[in-house]
Amino acid sequence: MQYRKILLPLSATEGCRSALALAHMVARTWKAHIDALHVRLDPRDVAPLAGEGLSGAMIEEMMTLTEKEGGERAKSARAMFDEFCKANAVTIAETAEASFAAGGVTASYAESVGREEDVVAARARLHDVVVLAHPEAGEEVSTSDSLHAVLFDSGRPIMIAPRNAPAEIGKRVCIGWNGSAESSAAVAAGLPWIERAEAVRILFAQEYHARGPEAQELASYLAWHGVKAEAVQFEAVGGSIGAGLLAKAHDFNADMVVMGAYTRSRLRQLILGGATRHMLEHGDVAVLMNR
């Protein structure tokens, strides 16, 4: 399998600059296409949020302001995209045929109107991977909503960009393994990277493990794909499994972490913390997640 079509939800935040750079790295690796998408809020969606006690004129003014601000954000997002493509000699292509003819990295830009999380999750279903900005990297809360919508509703993997664009990705890959179906789905999605990596390490912990195959069994499975992977146990750091996982990834000088998302309930992780939550909040390497 090769990644051929990458979805990049794009806004005018600094976090999206890092996501754009990461998407370009992915596209360079696979000679793939970047499908940049900016979603504008429908001004009509503002009315139900306005609540009671506001006059029709006040609601109309809010809708007008939303339309204006949305237009400004869309203009900034398009300018960011155009500037990046020009600086990196990325060919603009609207079809698969045009992309194949170009023979390298291509990109296209589109705008849509609606709730970002709904639009992105639906569009993601026909892409190989979705590259997202770090959920705390920008000022727009919708980025995190889109992240969870893609994870839970698209059936596709996501790659989360660190706050600062990495120098390279995919050479040293860590797999966060706990035997769960989500971990298995992440390995399947990350297999193209795992197979071409220079070094692969499987990270596991007793507190992190769910019912399922052990790390050594995963190593045996990867051997069938020609991958030599070492299984290394890690411990929680400061009571956090996620911190322990990230620390071991740093020890390995990993430039990518592949892991399942919310292998325990999302509510439990939001309340008590967990590996997924820690990586979403503190991950400083590219993280490939799937469910």
32 and 132 inside one domain? yes
Residue 198 has pLDDT above 70, yes or no: yes
Domain that holds residue 126: 5-160
In a domain, 167, yes or no: no
Beta bridge partners of 34: 6, 107
145 and 177 inside one domain? no
236-260 pLDDT, tens digit each: 999 889 999 999 999 999 999 999 9
How many whole angstroms from its chain centre is CA 144? 10
220 and 272 inside one domain? yes
Residue 279 has pLDDT above 80, yes or no: yes
Last residue of a domain, one of 128, 160, 192: 160
In a domain, 166, yes or no: no
144 and 17 inside one domain? yes
CATH of the domain at 148: 3.40.50.620
67 vs 121 pLDDT, higher one: 121
149 and 14 inside one domain? yes
DSSP assignment of the chain equals ----EEEEE--SSHHHHHHHHHHHHHHHHHT-EEEEEEEEPPGGGTHHHH-TT--HHHHHHHHHHHHHHHHHHHHHHHHHHHHHHHHTTPEE-SSHHHHHHHTS-EEEEEEEES-HHHHHHHHHTTSSEEEE--TTTSS-THHHHHHHHHHHHT-S-EEEPPSS--S--SSEEEEE--S-HHHHHHHHHHHHHHHH-SEEEEEE-TTT--SS--HHHHHHHHHTTT--EEEEE---BTTBHHHHHHHHHHHTT-SEEEEES-SS-HHHHHHH--HHHHHHHH--SEEEEE-
204 and 244 inside one domain? yes
In a domain, 165, yes or no: no
130 and 240 inside one domain? no
131 and 240 inside one domain? no
Last residue of a domain, one of 105, 140, 160: 160
Q: How many domains does the chain have?
A: 2
Q: By mean pLDDT, which of 13-22, 82-91, 223-232 is the weakest?
A: 13-22
In a domain, 282, yes or no: yes
pTM: 0.89
- What is the rounded distance in angstroms from the CA atom of residue 202 to the CA atom of residue 257? 10
153 and 61 inside one domain? yes
Span 89-93, mean pLDDT? 97
Span 216-235, mean pLDDT? 97
In a domain, 101, yes or no: yes
240 and 265 inside one domain? yes
In a domain, 19, yes or no: yes
154 and 219 inside one domain? no
11 and 151 inside one domain? yes
Share of the chain above pLDDT 90, in %: 67
